[in-house]
Amino acid sequence: MSNRLAEESSPYLLQHAENPVDWRPWSAEAFDEARRRDVPVLLSIGYSACHWCHVMERESFEDPTTAELMNESFVNIKVDREERPDIDSVYMKAVQAMTGQGGWPLTAFLTSDGEPFFGGTYFPPEPRPNMPSFRQILESIRSAYDERREEIVRNAAELKELMEKSSAERTEGPVTQEGEALTGPALLDHSFRFLASRFDQTYGGFGGAPKFPQPVTLEFALRVHARTGDPEALEMVTRTLSAMARGGIHDHLGGGFHRYSVDARWLVPHFEKMLYDNALLGRLYVNAYQVTGDPELRWVAEGTLEHLLTDMRAPEGGFYSALDADSEGEEGTFYIWTPAEVRALLDKETADLFMRCYDVSEAGNFEKSNILHLPHDLGAVAKREGMKLEALRELLQDARQILLEARKLREPPFRDEKILASWNGMAIRALAEAGGALNQPRFLEAAVSGLDFLLGSMREGDRLRRSYKDGTARIDAFLEDYGGVGNAILSVYEATLEPRWLKEAAWITERVVDLFWDDNDGIFHDGPKDGEVLTVRARDLMDNATPSGNSLAVELLIRSAHLFGEERHRDIANRVLDREAGLMARFPSAFGRLLGALDRTVADPVEIAIVGARDDSRTLELLQAALSPYLPNRTIAGTAPGEALPYRLPVLEGRDRGTEPTAYVCERYACKAPVFDAVALAEQLDGG
């Protein structure tokens, strides 16, 4: 018999709809029921691609005895963290404050007023060393709630007060010997040195196992290289991206990347694939290719973005959220290979060479099977085999395609087909920028289609919606949604110069300020001013797997202010950067995108004005020349001769509007001599 989750649209909630637990979705009615029954609330938060969420479901939530205990003693609420990042943020911080750690599944126990008093993550069905069983936890919590209610309520109130204070207070960072706080270039240099000290010189990335890609941190390092020319910053990026591309975290057959590596050398991944990871990494590989011209980086970038188009794109134009780690009840089964499987598909000579290149052996590197990875340099392999490198690459490409077609016949991992605004914004931005940088129209076309979908089907009146599934958009969007989509709009505008995107960019920037900015305290909140009132108003400043809403909003305001000349938006962004300088200085690895925004205010801007008919091939060649190089502080604006634009754009003011397509390269709106062809524009952008 189904529980109350059967009426929900979230794939994660629907996965629990047949549990014997009397799950309820997050609602006021659930807390009313807890007050009526005088019992605590058990809040369980996870997401559809979460491996340990599935494990806890099988072990505990599908167990009738455990479910009976949960139903008798608690009102049980299930939340999809991807649909409700505000709820997840508040209760994750609470559990971290109580236990010193967090993760998913997140298990929190609340009073009937929603205030947390105990929590943890995964709990096993039977006791383990230093870890009680889930049933023991349930019994202890209910007993304490009945017998020590006043103590629990008092502790919950104290925790709430601590969280409220922490959310609003300003943190001072390290100071110079002269006693001044670090700001501007000094803060950027300090932050980079901190990150460099934690860089893994052997395998790339930061820290040890488990190892996450951290694309936002690497974005900042690439910006440091662009601004200062520091070769160490570029080496950090290229070494990491090269090691990841060779490792098992990279899907060598279907493209794209898995969530993270359980080891330090990128070999054994946690196999789920997330839209945001591949959007952020796809864009980063494009940027690294722009800097280095390395064809391997371009190949990985294109493969990652093709994965989004092939495996994650909805018919409507948006992009799905995730592919599960599990299939056939086991993690990674879809992706691993035995020698017998390879030999059954390839001729003997090709199979042997493929297995030597991709480390496929009888012993295996993952549960007696093999994760494809490239432990050897292909140039050295080709030399040893007496082959030309290009011939080896072609042979391996043909073999990969054969294995990919065979893999399609396996039971695929579950795909979470909800469409989230912020993650789609990241994907659309990556595709738009890749379309321009790599001169790949299919990427740009997908970006435009995706943005049309978001602003059509996921906007109601003057509001964005967070989530879309089965023809319905739901949940008011959060700061990260507006910031992510806003940055995508600006990137699509720069790649197309279509005036319609100017209106959308201006609209969404104003929405960010109107709905989320607190001018008195000088902070952005994650939820809208008129949104649901939680026990603490969500405000998550730090980047996690994705950039924070705060950093996305600041980036949007800086980019938009430069395009439109809106000083109020620039001032708001600078207020946030000044306020959070102390936190950035103390925890640089948690503020990669905000540090990137600060870099925008320090590095010299590059403004490119293009005047010409958009259907003129010469105009398109100028635009292509403007989009090709890595110019992280670039602003592009364009118009056709005699065209009336809907907004004033300072970079276009005073430009000649003759009949011949013309480009102007400017810095702080002071321009060099106009140029009329793509070669001359490229030379100016290269410093010529």
pLDDT tens-digit map of 400-440: 999 999 999 999 999 999 999 999 999 999 999 999 999 99
Tell me the one-letter amino acid at 263. Answer: D
Distance CA 322, CA 414 (A): 8
Mean pLDDT of 355-384: 95
Question: With contact defined as beta carbons under 8 Å apart, do 484 and 425 qualify?
Answer: yes
What 3-state DSSP class applies to 460?
strand
Instruction: Work out the number of other CB atoms within 10 angstroms of the CB of residue 570.
Output: 17
Q: For the segment 159-201, what is each residue's pLDDT rounded down to a tens digit?
A: 888 888 776 666 555 555 455 678 899 999 999 999 999 999 9
Mean pLDDT of 229-239: 98
Question: With contact defined as beta carbons under 8 Å apart, do 396 and 403 qualify?
Answer: no
Instruction: Work out the number of other CB atoms within 10 angstroms of the CB of residue 165.
Output: 10
What 3-state DSSP class applies to 465?
strand
Mean pLDDT of 452-471: 97
Q: CA distances (Å), 44 to each of 120, 123, 203, in order?
A: 10, 11, 36
Q: For the segment 603-613, what is each residue's pLDDT rounded down to a tens digit?
A: 999 999 999 99
Residue 656: predicted pLDDT: 65
Mean pLDDT of 532-541: 89
| Lowest mean pLDDT across 156-165, 202-211, 481-490, 555-564 | 156-165
Mean pLDDT of 330-357: 96
Question: With contact defined as beta carbons under 8 Å apart, do 281 and 215 qualify?
Answer: yes
Question: With contact defined as beta carbons under 8 Å apart, do 111 and 119 qualify?
Answer: no
Q: Which CATH fold would you assign to the domain 184-327+416-602? A: Glycosyltransferase (1.50.10)
Mean pLDDT of 263-276: 96
Residue 560 has pLDDT above 80, yes or no: yes
Residue 78 has pLDDT above 60, yes or no: yes
Question: With contact defined as beta carbons under 8 Å apart, do 82 and 321 qualify?
Answer: yes
**304 half-sphere exposure, CB direction, 13 A CA radius:** 32
Return the CATH class of domain 4-168.
alpha beta
Beta bridge partner(s), residue 468? 419, 473
Predicted TM-score (pTM) of this structure: 0.94
Beta bridge partner(s), residue 639? 611
DSSP 59: I
Mean pLDDT of 529-534: 91
Mean pLDDT of 375-379: 92
User: What's the token pair of residue 206?
Assistant: 């930061």
**Higher-scoring residue by pLDDT: 100, 167:** 100
The helix-helix angle for 215-228 and 275-292 (nearest 10°) equals 20
The secondary structure of 85-129, three-state, reads HHHHHHHHHHHHHHHCCCCCCEEEEECCCCCEEEEECCCCCCCEC
Residue with tokens 């400043």: 541
Q: CA distances (Å), 56 to each of 59, 122, 314, in order?
A: 5, 7, 30
Distance CA 614, CA 190 (A): 44
Q: CA distances (Å), 282 to each of 298, 300, 564, in order?
A: 9, 8, 28
Tell me the one-letter amino acid at 322. Answer: A
Tell me the one-letter amino acid at 491. Answer: S
Dihedral sign (CA 671, 569, 428, 580): positive
Confidence of residue 335 (pLDDT cuts 50, 70, 90): very high
Residue 177: predicted pLDDT: 45
**In the chain, % of residues over pLDDT 90:** 87
Distance CA 334, CA 97 (A): 38
Residue 214: predicted pLDDT: 96
Residue 170: predicted pLDDT: 63
Q: What is the number of helices (H) and of strands (E) in the chain?
A: 26, 22
Residue 55: predicted pLDDT: 93
Q: Where are the domains of the chain?
A: 4-168, 184-327+416-602, 335-409, 606-685
Residue 246: predicted pLDDT: 98
Question: With contact defined as beta carbons under 8 Å apart, do 208 and 200 qualify?
Answer: yes
Instruction: Specify the length of the chain in residues.
Output: 688
- Cis peptide leading into residue 661 (ω within 30°): no
Task: Output the average pLDDT for the chain.
Answer: 94
Beta bridge partner(s), residue 518? 523
Residue 274: predicted pLDDT: 97
Classify strands 106-110 and 116-120 as parallel, antiparallel or unpaired.
antiparallel
Q: For the segment 278-312, what is each residue's pLDDT rounded down to a tens digit?
A: 999 999 999 999 999 999 999 999 999 999 999 99
